[in-house]
Amino acid sequence: MRRALLALALAPLLSASFCDPNVDVSTARVLAPKLIDTETVIDPQTGEIITLSHWEYPDGVTVTTKDRFKKDTPVTDRRLTSRAPVRFTD
């Protein structure tokens, strides 16, 4: 009997907590970048290999990431480039 009364007393509280009409709905979108181009540059002093990756978001913003590798790094390991971060917009 006590459990039934407790359930009846808590039911309105639980339903009201999940249905707050004053909460704003987020209109944020996730923007994932697309790889446009990559450049490979070799530092003449150190022999270090630098890979520049150019990324573009759907809203037109471009970002460049830079990866540095030792001069004796195999080509297969140099293919792993940094990704541009995901952006959120309103």
Q: Would you say residue 2 lies in a domain? A: no
Beta bridge pairs of residue 40: 51
pLDDT in the model for residue 28: 78
Q: Would you say residue 10 lies in a domain? A: no
Q: Would you say residue 23 lies in a domain? A: no
Range(s) of the domain holding residue 51: 29-83
Q: Would you say residue 47 lies in a domain? A: yes
Give the 3-state secondary structure of residue 54: strand
Q: Would you say residue 76 lies in a domain? A: yes
Structure-token pair, residue 27? 């209109």
pLDDT in the model for residue 62: 93
Structure-token pair, residue 43? 């530092």
Number of domain units in the chain = 1
Distance between terminal CA atoms of the chain?
51
Q: Would you say residue 3 lies in a domain? A: no
User: Structure pTM?
Assistant: 0.62
Q: Would you say residue 13 lies in a domain? A: no
Q: Would you say residue 19 lies in a domain? A: no
- Which parts of the chain sit beneath pLDDT 70? 13-25, 80
